[in-house]
């Protein structure tokens, strides 16, 4: 299988994607939180090439790296990201590793490839515009196929020389699993035609999602399989033996050690 996009060079497989950056136990004890500037910097310092992060839009229209749609879990503040202006959000995050906006992340970490999950509807077009000059090192994803396609279209409209890489949304994945169960190979290939990766949990409830058959079908279509969120080294090793191309993990330090030791 050959990668179809410069975001996914063949020589980097298997890929370690630092989930929301890297927050080691020591960093967490110091107050550093996920998706912060410090978490991205820590991932890069550990040797990570790929950082997975999430995108929301502030009240004044700035795309920030943040997973939840509110501040409650990370800061104890119950307000929605969409209701807070960038200056105040910077203050709130100042002792938690520092807020990082999407433009700041792309500029401050030019050697990092960003896997960006568009969490908010309002963020899709601003994300696309922001990543347009960096499309060779960005993958745009979302649980919503409509949101990710809106971001891709915005990148194109903003002058991206190539489209960002992309992975399938939930609706596409559901149709793919049905097509695999029916052994409908032409439909499988059609569903995978416009994506570069499948980013999936190993299981969804009782359903095993990532199987040898799924990995083989994806590879046959030139599509990679990345599994989230894998933090146990034994699980990492088992999935790599299954043939997956990437591990999305909170412990990129452990994953890198395992991959480099294989």
3-class secondary structure, 163: coil
3-class secondary structure, 96: coil
Q: How far apart are alpha carbons 162 and 122 in whole angstroms? A: 23
Q: Are 135 and 155 in contact (CB under 8 A)?
A: yes
H or E element at residue 135: none
Annotated active-site residue in 19, 56, 134, 226: 19
Q: Which residues pair with 198 in a beta bridge?
A: 225
Annotated active-site residue in 5, 56, 67, 226: 67
* 219 catalytic per annotation: no
* 19 catalytic per annotation: yes
Q: Which residues pair with 262 in a beta bridge?
A: none
Of the candidates 200, 38, 12, 188, the residue with the CA atom closest to the CA atom of residue 109: 38
Of the candidates 230, 10, 252, the residue with the CA atom closest to the CA atom of residue 260: 252
Q: How far apart are alpha carbons 34 and 31 in whole angstroms? A: 10
Active site residues: 19, 67
């Amino acid at each position: 299988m050959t990668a179809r996009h410069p975001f996914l060079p063949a020589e980097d497989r298997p890929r370690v994607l630092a989930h929301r950056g890297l927050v080691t136990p020591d960093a967490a004890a110091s107050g550093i939180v996920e998706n912060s500037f410090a978490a991205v910097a820590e991932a890069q310092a550990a040797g990570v090439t790929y950082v997975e992060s999430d995108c929301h839009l502030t009240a004044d229209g700035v795309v920030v790296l943040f997973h939840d749609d509110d501040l409650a879990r990370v800061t104890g503040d119950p307000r929605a990201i969409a209701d807070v202006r960038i200056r105040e959000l910077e203050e709130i995050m100042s002792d938690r590793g520092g807020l990082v906006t999407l433009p700041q992340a792309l500029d401050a970490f030019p050697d990092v490839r960003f896997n960006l999950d568009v969490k908010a509807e309002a963020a899709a077009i601003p994300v696309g515009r922001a990543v347009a000059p960096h499309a060779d090192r960005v993958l745009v994803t979302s649980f919503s196929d409509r949101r990710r396609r809106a971001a891709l279209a915005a990148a194109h409209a903003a002058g991206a020389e190539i489209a960002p890489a992309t992975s399938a949304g939930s609706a596409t994945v559901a149709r793919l699993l049905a097509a695999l169960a029916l052994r409908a190979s032409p439909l499988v290939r059609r569903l995978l035609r416009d994506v570069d990766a499948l980013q999936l949990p190993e299981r969804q409830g009782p359903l095993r999602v990532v199987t040898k058959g799924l990995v083989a079908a994806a590879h046959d279509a030139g599509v990679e399989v990345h599994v989230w969120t894998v933090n146990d080294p034994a699980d990492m090793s088992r999935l790599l033996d299954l043939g997956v191309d990437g591990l999305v993990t909170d412990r990129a330090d452990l994953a890198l050690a395992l991959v480099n030791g294989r």
